[in-house]
Structure 1
Amino acid sequence: MNALLKAKSAYSAAKAPTRTAKNFEYEVVARVTRRLITAAQNGRDEFSELAAALNDNRKLWTIFTADLASKGNPLPNDLKQNLFELAEFTRQHTSKVLQREANIRPLVEINTAIMRGLRSGAS
């Protein structure tokens, strides 16, 4: 291997974007939200797909609440409280969607707002 190739390979890793916790959270929320939208668009015939996406969204919000409750969470208390309330709404609304009494739109809107906050760098 010549010196130029060695230099390229040594510095190529530095080109890779740094993944932050916020980037990772954004990707996970975006993936779950896309699944919710896709499953809802597939209609009643694919309700099991929607139920699986709703379950994943509920798990995501459960993880968020566990993180919010942890001692090391640096978010301001008022923001934590707001997120806890969104988590509770999400839990209740998910049950209504699973009972076919509600639409997924509010869940998608909440996740989208969370993604905007993560993308803008809000803490």
Structure 2
Amino acid sequence: MSYAANAYAKVSQTALTPREAEAAVLIKAAARLQTIQDNWDAHHTTLNDALGFNRKVWTILSSAATEPDAPLPEEMKTAMARLGAFVFTRTLDAMVEPSADKLTALIRINRELANGLRGNP
């Protein structure tokens, strides 16, 4: 098998569906926040970077989910808009007054949504 064919075979085995990619990014954001929460004294200096990453993830997710042509029912679009607003508010709160406890909701939301995207409600 040629190098190009090997490369294609490898990529085709690891390519993710859009839902799987969204779930993976949510899990990555949750893991970063969890690491900081679990080791607050050692890692809270990286909090703003992790919160910024999470905010970017949610900006993309909530924007895509609430687009007029998004293939979601209206009630799902509304729920994503509300959830996104909560995430943004909690993120800002955690940046202004940092606390390990403020990360719990963000971590849970990311994990629960990732599970739903993977078909594991």
CA shift, 1:107, in A, is: 0.6
Distance of 1:41 and 1:94 partners within structure 2: 18
Structure 2's unaligned 5+ residue stretches are none
1:18-97 correspondence runs (5 A): 18-97=15-94
CA shift, 1:69, in A, is: 2.9
Distance of 1:13 and 1:106 partners within structure 2: 39
Structure 1's unaligned 5+ residue stretches are none
**Greater length-normalized contact order (CA 8 Å, ≥ 6 residues apart):** 2
Structure 2 partner of 1:100: 98
Count the aligned residue pairs.
115
Residue 111, structure 1, aligned to residue 110, structure 2: yes
Q: Which runs of 4+ in 1 moved over 6 A?
A: none
CA 1:63 to 1:117, structure 2 compared with 1: closer, same or farther past 3 Å?
A: same
Question: Whose Rg is larger?
Answer: 1
- TM-score, normalised to structure 2, is 0.80
| Identity fraction in percent | 26
The Cα RMSD (Å) is 2.4
Secondary structure of the residue aligned to 1:89 is helix
